[in-house]
Amino acid sequence: MAQKDGAWLDAWLDAEPHNCDAATLRASLMVHRAWEIRGSAFAHEVPYEDMKRFRAMLPAAIEEARKAALLDPANPGPWVVMITAARGARYGHSQFKPLWKELVARAPHHYAGHGQALQYWCAKWFGSNRRMMRFARQTVRKAPAGSPLAGIYLHALSELADRSTAAALPVTPMTRSLLKRTAASFDRVAPDDERLPVLRHLLAHFMLQSMMYAPALEQFREIGPWCGAEPWRKAGNPVMAFEAARGRAVRLSRSRPAPAAQGYGMAR
């Protein structure tokens, strides 16, 4: 809502100029608006003027986030904003690492913060496949009970798959072990956690790619008929892609299929 009409945020800041949450939201909106100007295209495809505006806006957003951090030193929110803006602002490793240290000192298991850090460490920004996967593996291992944090590993596998020319990811004992650990972690997450359904779709997909057919089928049973999430959308017809993947899990796991669902939902 604040993205379209910031009057209420301005009113909030006028009424509570020392409110860290309000100041953090202002900084976050500055980052969001900068990314709206840049778009999602590769850097060489972005018009020069748009890229110039994008890069000019991010340092100001980071400065606003730093000011917000002073209002409530224990609040991790401003540091998440800085982590988010860092790659667009072309922060090198020596600039990024102190931001990360400050964030995890306040919120060591912050999901969104880890997601933004994963992007920083991926090959298309300021890392590499090796750095990204190392970060993702460490994240799985430190994920606390009840947190979906292990799902960051699945996003890393998606990033790796998007950049790979191979048809499938390499199947390794480490990958299988981490997928099992991720599944076990998800079993302790609250069923109503809104992040969980999407993560289960990714987990089922990568378990299939790793020839873990019975564990993949268990994920499909947890998902139910909801098929509108990634990675099925990439196939053009998510219903057919989802149904084919689930059928493959049933067939290759040699399990008896569950009763057929009456229909498919596209919202999860």
Mind listing the pLDDT tens digit for each residue in 103-118?
999 999 999 999 999 9
* Rounded average pLDDT over 139-155: 97
Please state the pTM of the whole predicted model: 0.90
Tell me what pLDDT residue 165 has: 58
Q: What tokens does 213 get? A: 């057919």
Place 264 in a pLDDT band, splitting at 50, 70 and 90: low
Which of 67-76, 148-157, 218-227, 242-251 has the lowest average pLDDT? 218-227
The mean pLDDT value of the chain amounts to: 90
Tell me what pLDDT residue 4 has: 53
Share of the chain above pLDDT 90, in %: 78
Question: Which residues share a beta bridge with 265?
Answer: 226
Contact 203, 230 (CB under 8 A): no
Kindly report, residue by residue over 28-54, the tens digit of the pLDDT: 999 999 999 998 888 889 999 999 999
| Cα 119 from chain centroid (whole Å) | 8
Tell me what pLDDT residue 255 has: 72
Tokens 């390499």: give the residue.
170
Rg (CA), the chain: 20
Phi, psi for 55 (deg, rounded to 5): -70, -25
Tell me what pLDDT residue 266 has: 54
Question: Which of these, 116, 124, 118, lies nearest to 138 by C-alpha position?
Answer: 118
Tell me what pLDDT residue 234 has: 82
- How far apart CA 90 and CA 179 sit, in angstroms, is 32
Q: Report how far apart, in Å, the C-alpha atoms of 43 and of each of 125, 138, 193, 254 are.
A: 10, 29, 35, 47
- How far apart CA 1 and CA 33 sit, in angstroms, is 13
Tell me what pLDDT residue 1 has: 44
pLDDT at 99 over 70: yes
- How far apart CA 28 and CA 9 sit, in angstroms, is 12
Give me the count of residues in the chain: 268
Q: What tokens does 215 get? A: 């564990």
- The full 3-state SS of the chain, as one line of letters, equals CCCCCCHHHHHHHHHCCCCHHHHHHHHHHHHHHHHHHHCCCCHHHCCHHHHHHHHHHHHHHHHHHHHHHHHCCCCCHHHHHHHHHHCCCCCCHHHHHHHHHHHHHHCCCCHHHHHHHHHHHCCCCCCCHHHHHHHHHHHHHHCCCCCCHHHHHHHHHHHHHHHCCCCCCCCCHHHHHHHHHHHHHHCCCCCCCCCHHHHHHHHHHHHHHCCCHHHHHHHHHHHCCECCCCCHHHHCCHHHHHHHHHHHHHHHHCCCCCCCCCCCECCC
Kindly report, residue by residue over 214-260, the tens digit of the pLDDT: 999 999 999 987 787 888 988 788 899 999 999 999 999 987 655 55
